[in-house]
Amino acid sequence: MRNPFDFALALGDDALVAAQRLGEWTSRAPEMEEDVALANIALDQLGAARLLLTYAGELEGAGRDEDALAYLRDDREFRNCLLVELPNGDFAVTMAKLLFLSAYQLPLYSALAGCADERLAAIGAKARKESAYHRDHAALWVRRLGDGTAESHRRMQAAVDQVWPYAHELFAPWPGAPVDPAGLRGDFDAYVGPVLAEATLTRPADGWAPAGGRDGVHTEHLSYLLAEMQVLHRAHPGATW
């Protein structure tokens, strides 16, 4: 039976792993301005992760703070969706991932801002402003690449086709949660559909829908990501700066 701790942990893990992936673009983005933009989006996600993981630790009541939850859990203890742990791939894949994630996070955080849980409401009110920018930024690039050259169109369509199946897990029902993600699918489709159309991209058919992240069943990619993210903390436990 999932509880409020599980919900806060899942959202925090989504943001934490997304931040780590986006941070991998630092010094590698196609333009200097984009390098800064992706770093800032990664920092936004990290900020949300800190707030959510801190609250999750308090709900758990086991003495674990944000650092313990981020650095001292193994992959099977993480509850992030599979979408965020997928490798960045090329720039088109990263923009497809960011579009789908932000088109989910914006209505999620907006709904949380009005929920009965005061802590989650405060986090949602802050994070939704940042998510609106993330969504607009990703949509701009998806349109630009999809309706650009023949090569950029091919890559953007391939990226959408590759990432689309992982979007379905975002909207798995969560009865009893402050916000049930199943009720957000309409907002997601209402935004993503027109963006794909404007980008001259074809919306993939629904079919294979990998899942398991919310239950701790992940792809092999998460283990490698965590090994890099956690190595310093685990090598020097308890160290302070």
Q: Are 55 and 130 in contact (CB under 8 A)?
A: no
Return the sign of the alpha-carbon dihedral for residues 234, 235, 239, 241: negative
Mean pLDDT, residues 60-67 taken together = 97
| Amino acid residing at 23 | G
User: pLDDT tens digit string along 84-122?
Assistant: 999 999 999 999 999 999 999 999 999 999 999 999 999
Q: Dump pLDDT digits (tens) for 195-225.
A: 999 999 999 999 999 999 999 999 999 999 9
Angle, helices 185-198/91-112, rounded to nearest 10 degrees = 150
Is residue 179 within 8 Å of 108, Cβ to Cβ?
yes
Q: How far apart are CA 227 and CA 12, in angstroms?
A: 18
List the chain domain ranges: 4-205+218-235
**pLDDT computed for residue 1 by the predictor:** 54
Q: What is the structure's pLDDT at 172?
A: 97
In angstroms, the CA 11 to CA 120 distance is 10
| Spatial CB neighbours of 213, under 8 Å, sequence gap ≥ 6 | 78, 79, 80, 81, 82, 85, 169
Q: What is the mean pLDDT of residues 125-129?
A: 98
* pTM of this structure: 0.97
Buried b (16+ CB within 10 A) or exposed e, 200-232: ebeeeeeeeeeeebbeeebbeebeebbeebeee
What percentage of the chain carries pLDDT values higher than 70? 100
Which CATH number is 4-205+218-235 given? 1.20.1260.10
Q: Which pLDDT band, with edges at 50, 70 and 90, does 238 fall under?
A: confident
Residues in the chain: 241
